Amino acid sequence: MLKIQELYKSYTFGNTIVPVLKGINLEVKAGDFLAITGTSGSGKSTLMNIMGLLDKPTRGHYWLENKEIVHYNDDELAAIRNQKIGFVFQSFYLLQRFSAVENVGYPLIYRHISQKEIRHRSMEMLEKMGMADRAKHHPNELSGGQQQRVAIARALIGKPSIILADEPTGALDAHVSKQIIDLLLELNQQEGITIIIITHDANVAKRCKRHVIMEEGILTTDAINLH
């Protein structure tokens, strides 16, 4: 599904080069549910951005569904993001001007799907998330948990091969946080969707199938959680 080999990333600030990822090796199989933890500054967000094709590595290899995507151009990367990857962010990142159902359907606009079809699929997806009755509400009329459900619906609408969740419960209280993780687990178990979560919450990490720990730009621990 996803394979990373000897991946390096460094940022240049003026004359100083700051290495962030120092040789990452990681393989994620289809149907995996992986948690990446680590202290802030360990490089986990950078890794997530590269896996999400929002950023490019300085060097190394990255295969997504057996395709080496390091040399893809910007348009091709956008198309892969649209079709293969679903993002879930800490602060939801919904478009404030649009209703829940419009937010969910937005990725499909870039696939030239008819307005009617988009609406239909978005409603179906919201129903699945238990949010059908909130379809016409705008993000500011929804609670944090509800917004994150809408965001997950948006991530799923394009039938991606992988969901990348960057601190998906970071802005939610413990109770709602548990519900969101339940939802992700359910999606993983029932539909076999591959999910990678970045988190600093040990409780969240414990519930994932697999847990890797990142320290100063390298992966130090890779463990399978036995439930």
The residues in 38-77 that bind another protein, with binding defined as CB under 8 A, are: 49, 52, 54-55, 74-75
CB 111, min distance to another protein, A: 8
Please identify which residue in 87, 126, 162, 181 interacts with another protein, judged by CB under 8 A: 87
Q: Is 16 a binder of another protein (CB under 8 A)?
A: no
- Residue (of 177, 173, 176, 195) closest to 185 by Cα position: 195
CA distances from 209 to 52, 90, 140, 195, 227 (A): 21, 21, 34, 10, 8
Strand 33-38 versus strand 218-224 pairing type: unpaired
Q: Which of 107, 139, 168, 217 binds another protein (CB under 8 A)?
A: 107
Cα–Cα distance, 17 to 175 (Å, whole number)? 42
Instruction: Name which of 26 and 104 has its Cβ closer to another protein.
Output: 104
The nearest distance, CB 158 to another protein, in angstroms, is: 8
CA neighbor of 164 nearest in space, from 32, 70, 25, 40: 32
**149 interacts with another protein by CB under 8 A:** no
112 sits near another protein (criterion: CB under 8 A): yes
Contact between 78 and another protein by CB under 8 A: the answer reads yes
81 vs 134, beta carbon nearer another protein: 81
Output 118 or 180, the one with its CB closest to another protein. 118
* Helical segments of 32-99, H only: 44-51, 74-84
